Amino acid sequence: MHGAEILAKAQEKQCDVFYEASVAGGIPIIRTLIEGFSSDRITKIMGIVNGTTNYILTKMSQEGASYEDVLAEAQELGYAEADPTSDVEGLDAARKMAIMGTLGFRTNVELQDVSVKGISQVTKEDIQYAKRLGYEMKLLGIADREQEQVSISVQPTMVRTSHPMAAVNGVFNAVYVYGEAVGETMFYGPGAGEMPTATSVVADLVAVVKNLKLGVNGLQAIAPYKAKVLKTDDQIMFKNFILLHVDDKAGVLAQITQVFAEYGVSLESVVQQPNDQTPQAEIIIVTHNASKASMDKVLDHFEGLEVIREIKSVYRVEG
C-alpha cells in the first residue's frame, strides 16, 4: 500500500496515521499542512528537504570546492551514505515533495509525478556563476498549483540571494508555503539527526495517546479527494539560466537570440565574455518566465546550431 491508500483505509477504519518525521526531520510541517492550513488554499510549496545535498551545495558555495571533494567529506562526517544516490540524485527529496504535495493540494501526488534532477552534475563553476549573478544554488523541491492543475519538481535551482530560502545552509531544511489567505510562510529547522527526528516521533506518539483518551482518533487521516490534473509542459512556467560555449566570432549572439525569439522566449539578461581556457566565448543568459515546452524547443535547436560548441549548464531560476 502507498500513501493515498493508507490514508483512505485509515479514514475508513477511523484510525489515525502519523508520520511527522518522514519530511524535514524536526520541522512539524506535516501537522502544519494538515491542520494549520485547513482553512486556507495552498498554491505553492517550496522545500529544501534533503540535508546531504544542502550541505554539499553550501560547502561548494562557501569554499569553492568541487562536488566530488565535498561529497567525500560529507561521507566521512556521516552526512552522506556510502551509496549517496538517493540523496544526490534527488529521489529522497522527490518522495518528500510527493508527500507534501498530496497534503497541500489534497490530491494523490505519486513519485512518478515528480520531475527529478539531482546535483551530481553541478560544478563549482556553475555555483560561481550563480553567485556572480546574485543567486545561491539549492536543490529545491517545488510543488505548484494553478486552479486545480499541479506540477511538482526537484532540481538544482538558482535562488535569488534576497529570498529567505537562499540563506538555508548546511544540513538545515526549510519549507516555504504560499497560501491564498495567509500569503508567504516559512518553516526552518534541522532536517535530520537523532534528537530532531525523535522529537517528531514522540510528538506523534503523544498525539496518538491524547486522541485515544479524548475519543477523537480517526479525524487526522484525510485521504486525498481531489482529482489529479498535472500541468502540461506548455503550462509549466519558470525563469532559466543557460551557459553556452560558442565560437568567438561576429554574429554568434545574433543567431542565438534569434532562436529564443523564434520560440517566444524573452531574455532578462545576456552576458558574453571570452573563455580563458579555450578560443571560444561564453554566453550567460537568464530568461524571463518561459514554458518548459518552449525551452525544450530552444535547447533542441541549439543542439544543431554549429556556432554552439557546448550547452554547458541549464538551471531553473527562482526569486
Q: Active-site positions? A: 96
Strand partners, 280: 247
Strand partners, 176: 46, 186
Residue 265's nearest CA partner among 296, 243, 244 is: 296
Contact status, residue 30 vs residue 103, Cβ threshold 8 Å: yes
Q: Output the CA angle 93-94-95, nearest 5 degrees.
A: 90
3-state secondary structure string across 196-213: HHHHHHHHHHHHHHHHHH
**Rg of the chain, C-alpha, whole Å:** 21
3-state secondary structure string across 72-98: HHHHHHCCCCCCCHHHHCCHHHHHHHH
Report the phi/psi class of residue 25: left, alpha or beta, with left for phi > 0 and alpha for psi in -120 to 50.
Answer: left
Q: How far apart are CA 302 and CA 256, in angstroms?
A: 8
Residue 149's nearest CA partner among 235, 30, 27, 64 is: 235
Helix, strand, or coil (residue 56): helix
Q: Output the CA angle 188-89-47, nearest 5 degrees.
A: 20
Characterize the bridge pairing of strands 237-247 and 308-318: antiparallel
Q: How far apart are CA 24 and CA 21, in angstroms?
A: 7
Contact status, residue 186 vs residue 167, Cβ threshold 8 Å: no
Contact status, residue 220 vs residue 211, Cβ threshold 8 Å: yes
